[in-house]
């Protein structure tokens, strides 16, 4: 604990000797079991659910052609990567108290977590912009939002997220610069953490602004459909789909804000003040809310998106037919007869 007290008295570190034990804030076995249970539960469900979303999207020729679902696919992929990297590194460090062999390996893992979560937020922003264009310029939507432009946007998104998240590994860390270190993350420079928080806040504000506009237009569409129910036809059905998807993604955004707000508040507090051990324990538990957000997103898609839920029903029907076909096959009948004779 002397190393920890020394770390509290100075905000600088050496590249050779960094007291990583100071960041292992879970002091009791009950806390470690609780964190491990939450991480494994949320992480496993998140991977399974988002993998199912990716399967439903890319197994349907109709759905996978739509740019909207390309953005949702990026969100699902980012959540899968975040779950795998976050759970493995978080449990390894905080539960088993294992220290990586080098600073570079730790920053590589941290960069993977940052890349995944930043890509998740950025994918939500692209989805929000997609809904914004669909609602504000419905007649020009297909010309403006094409598959090629969607793939280009996703490519820029992932390259940007990887580049920003790799900066600590490439040298922007408090050990290389001999600068002020974060109280929450080993080796992380406070200026870099501040910049990343600003980026996240810009993304969140942009998403909220886009969805505020989407909701206003959605209400107008609802009023329009009520007055012109008989005349709307296909356009009416299309507006219903857009409004349903917009409301679905607003629900996703609400869950996102609820899960990320505690983490961001503690990060900001840690930059301007000194975090006590109890607050750092709270931060460790609040970090699992990010996994909860990634786990809840696919549930909202399945409940609110008619196309995905329809694709899910088709997939289940095919699976049941395959099971029945396997049970009714001659091999299965001969096996059943031979087992009956033996009995």
Sorted by where each begins, the domain ranges of the chain are: 25-307
Please choose, from the candidates 328, 288, 213, 276, the residue with its C-alpha nearest in 3D space to the C-alpha of residue 37. Answer: 288
pLDDT on residue 333: 54
Kindly tell me if the per-residue pLDDT of 287 is higher than 80: yes
What does R_g of the chain's alpha carbons equal in angstroms? 24
Do 308 and 63 touch, CB atoms closer than 8 A? yes
Mean pLDDT on 224-231:
58
pLDDT, greater one: 59 or 240: 59
Mean pLDDT on 294-301:
80
Please choose, from the candidates 193, 209, 159, the residue with its C-alpha nearest in 3D space to the C-alpha of residue 270. Answer: 193
CATH number of 25-307: 1.20.1070.10
* Residue 193: Cβ within 10 Å count: 22
pLDDT on residue 10: 43
pLDDT on residue 156: 96
- Sign of the alpha-carbon torsion through 95, 100, 105, 107: positive
pLDDT on residue 305: 75
pLDDT on residue 224: 62
Mean pLDDT on 312-321:
81
Kindly tell me if the per-residue pLDDT of 162 is higher than 70: yes
Q: Which helix (H) or strand (E) holds 51?
A: helix 29-58
Kindly tell me if the per-residue pLDDT of 24 is higher than 90: no
pLDDT on residue 7: 45
Reported as a single tens digit per residue, the pLDDT across 72-107 is 999 999 999 999 999 999 998 888 888 887 889 999
How does residue 37 score in pLDDT terms, banded at 50, 70 and 90?
Answer: very high
pLDDT on residue 254: 81
pLDDT on residue 73: 92
pLDDT on residue 58: 87
Mean pLDDT on 127-140:
86
**Average pLDDT over the chain, rounded to an integer:** 81
Do 193 and 181 touch, CB atoms closer than 8 A? no
Q: Say which residues have a Cβ less than 8 Å from residue 225's Cβ, sequence separation at least 6.
A: 232, 236, 239, 240
């Amino acid at each position: 604990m002397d190393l920890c007290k020394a770390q509290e008295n100075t905000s600088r570190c050496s590249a050779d000797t960094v007291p990583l034990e100071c960041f292992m804030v879970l002091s009791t076995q009950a806390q470690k079991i609780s964190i491990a249970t939450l991480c494994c539960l949320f992480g496993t469900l998140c991977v399974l659910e988002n993998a199912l979303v990716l399967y439903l999207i890319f197994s349907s020729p109709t759905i996978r052609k739509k740019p909207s679902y390309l953005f949702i696919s990026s969100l699902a992929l980012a959540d899968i990567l975040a779950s795998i990297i976050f759970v493995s590194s978080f449990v390894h460090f905080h539960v088993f108290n294992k220290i990586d062999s080098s600073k570079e390996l730790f920053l590589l893992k941290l960069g993977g977590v940052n890349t995944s979560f930043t890509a998740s937020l950025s994918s939500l922003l692209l989805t929000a912009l997609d809904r914004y264009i669909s609602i504000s310029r419905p007649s020009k939507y297909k010309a403006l939002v094409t598959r090629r432009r969607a793939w280009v946007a996703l490519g820029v998104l992932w390259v940007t997220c990887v580049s920003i998240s790799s900066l600590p590994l490439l040298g922007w860390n408090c050990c290389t610069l001999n600068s002020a270190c974060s109280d929450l993350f080993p080796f992380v420079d406070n200026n870099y953490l501040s910049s990343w928080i600003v980026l996240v806040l810009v993304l969140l504000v942009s998403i909220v602004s886009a969805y505020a506009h989407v909701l206003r237009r959605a209400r107008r569409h609802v009023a329009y459909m009520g007055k012109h129910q008989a005349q709307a036809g296909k356009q009416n059905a299309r507006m219903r789909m857009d409004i349903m998807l917009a409301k679905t993604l607003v629900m996703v955004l609400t869950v996102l804000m609820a899960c990320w707000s505690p983490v961001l508040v503690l990060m900001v507090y840690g930059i301007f003040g000194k975090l006590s051990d109890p607050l750092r324990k709270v931060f460790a538990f609040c970090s699992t809310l990010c996994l909860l957000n990634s786990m809840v997103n696919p549930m909202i898609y399945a409940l609110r998106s008619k196309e995905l839920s329809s694709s899910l029903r088709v997939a289940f029907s095919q699976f049941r037919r395959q099971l029945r076909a396997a049970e009714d096959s001659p091999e299965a009948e001969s096996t059943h007869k031979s087992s009956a004779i033996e009995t």
